[in-house]
Amino acid sequence: MAMVLREPRPIGTNPLREEDVPLPEISGREVLIEVKVCGICRTDLHIIEGEIPPRKLPLIPGHQVVGVVKKVGDLVTKLRKGDRVGVTWLHSTCGECRFCKRGLENLCERAHFTGYSVDGGYAKYMKSLEGFTFKLPNTYSDIEAAPLLCAGVIGFRALRMCELKEGDKLGLYGFGSSAHLVLQIARHLGFLVYVFTRSRERQKLALELGASWAGTPTEDPGVKLNASIVFAPAGWVALEALKRLDKAGRLVLAGIYMTPIPSINYPLLYHERVIKSVANCTRSDIIKLLNMAREVKLKISVHTFKLRNANEALQILKTKGLRGSGVLIVE
């Protein structure tokens, strides 16, 4: 059983259909995974609704997968049947292009992506490549581990790109699945965190998790920030974030999709302020994040849904948002 996208459409029209699909066949360095849970993500929404041009149709979405290895290909050496594993957005890279050779496999020119260019985890079974499949620590349950595999790792990469020092001030714009994990890591590393979200409930959660301040994206926290991460896919929010940066401040855009950013007056960029974007992640990012999560002992806020209710779960994510992360349970 799987939830299948045959044509990009608004999530309110229930574009994912429950279908019986053949068991994936594996060979070589592939592994067959029995999926236990799969996180939901705004990237899934952008793919399903066609904001990101499709690469494969029909498609089984989902790229925050936790499951158990059921079968291994004849060239697999590091994974065994019964291993508890995770699968992320990055499905494969070529290892040969100019970016791979520079250690930037996240920018690989021939990369494939789970739940986008290959079938993902909104299914009972899926296949993955051994080199892009990760053994998971027992620190977290299946439900808690799923958000680490995209929300966690993308947020972690964005945080590292901020180049902060202990005592620096960090802004987080949007406070969903990724930001509530980043806040805890940032506090563990000694940064002061200021959260910008229109949701009063999520402002309260941010303060509970250790934020120094929480307010709306247009409010002034009363301090200049050394760096900010924008998780919200709205260009106007990026402009608001730029207004709050100190000299030499870094603005990191963490989404795969964003509406147009309004025109920027040069004084907002002057004094060596920098705008960066995060594109995908590397396998090294994932390993470092899993190690960091073990050290920090993250409190992961999760809302669960049954796999067959994926349309409903994504509709809630789009219209109301979630207090933390959304995870589909595969039965």
Name which CATH class applies to 2-140+300-329.
alpha beta
Q: Whole-angstrom Cα distance, residue 146 to residue 144?
A: 6
pLDDT computed for residue 93 by the predictor: 98
Report pLDDT digits (tens) over 159-206: 999 999 999 999 999 999 999 999 999 999 999 999 999 999 999 999
Q: What six digits make up the tokens of 150?
A: 């995209």
Q: What CATH number belongs to 152-277?
A: 3.40.50.720
Q: Which residue has the tokens 């050496």?
A: 77
3-class DSSP state of 195: strand
Report pLDDT digits (tens) over 9-32: 999 999 999 999 999 999 999 999
CA distances from 190 to 37, 195, 323 (A): 33, 16, 24
Please give the model's pTM, rounded to 2 decimal places: 0.92
At 31, the amino acid letter reads: V
Report pLDDT digits (tens) over 260-269: 999 999 999 9
Q: What six digits make up the tokens of 4?
A: 């299948």
pLDDT computed for residue 140 by the predictor: 93
The ranges of the chain with pLDDT < 70 are none
- The domain limits of the chain are 2-140+300-329, 152-277
Q: Whole-angstrom Cα distance, residue 220 to residue 240?
A: 10
Q: What six digits make up the tokens of 8?
A: 């990009």
Q: How is residue 307 annotated by DSSP? A: G
Q: How far apart are the first and last CA of the chain?
A: 9
